[in-house]
Amino acid sequence: MKGAVRWYFASSVLGGIVVAGAFLALGVTGRRTTQTIVVQSPVYSQPASSSASGLTPHDIYQRDAPGVVFVKAQIVQQIEDPFDLFPQQERSVSTGSGFLIDQRGDILTNYHVIEGASRTTGVSAQFEDNVTRQARVIGADPSNDLAVLRVDMSGVPSVRPLELGDSTTVEVGDPTLAIGNPFGLDRTLTSGIVSALQRQIQAPDGFSIDNVIQTDAPINPGNSGGPLLDAAGRVIGINSQIETGGGNGQGSVGIAFAVPVDTAKEFLPLLEHGRDAAKH
């Protein structure tokens, strides 16, 4: 790491302890709201109506926001006792975003959002109107910071899965939209452009993630695992990390990184065979 530059996973941890500076800590508010906040960026970064889709950012938000969920993971960590007499556990809550990718209830998110949680009982996904479902972790790819959750969709209002796009066609200057839960503010929409391509970031297990998309769409703690969309509302990336500029601030400075959706497309077929993914 050079100079004072710091990268952070764009998830939030509430209470308990924080693992090796990988997360940004936030205070527990003790309450949940379902606010919609639309943050307008400068005119140059506003996605105009796509000639192909004819959709405005508002249209895309109305269509896709219900498929973006608030992910909460109960993290349990073992605390070393120097005398090995009284083993202890520390508990914390990691929060982030995720989005529905099919009708059977599969949700794509970041691995670091759910890392350390029980795969069967430690994760929940909240849809609109505070409709919350227990989620099972059915697949994990720590080397690309990806995970897939599955929830029971019975009783959940009709939700449209988000369409996966093609990250290989993305170009610098293309408009982007991000939907997520920054600082716990449900389904916040922000906009920007693709700032750079083929960036490289570090995965939770230390491997490098390649072909990462850089955007200036405001991304903050809690956006982790949420979708980065193109002007037609197709997912081109999974928002994962932010650059804080080396200061003490925990918010966006206009530099964020998204794992390309084509990396996720390579990982998803493995789930049909009941396997996790990892680099060797």
CA 194 to the chain's CA centroid: 17
**Alpha carbon distance 204, 225 (integer Å):** 14
**Alpha carbon distance 38, 135 (integer Å):** 28
Residues noted as catalytic:
112, 145, 224
Question: Is there a contact between 94 and 114 (Cβ–Cβ < 8 Å)?
Answer: yes
Look-up of token digits 């956006």: 223
**Alpha carbon distance 157, 129 (integer Å):** 9
Please provide residue 213's backbone torsions phi and psi, each rounded to the nearest 5 degrees. Answer: -90, 130
DSSP state of 233: S
DSSP state of 164: B
Residue 106 has which token pair?
């599969």
Closest residue by Cα to residue 257 from 45, 8, 19: 8
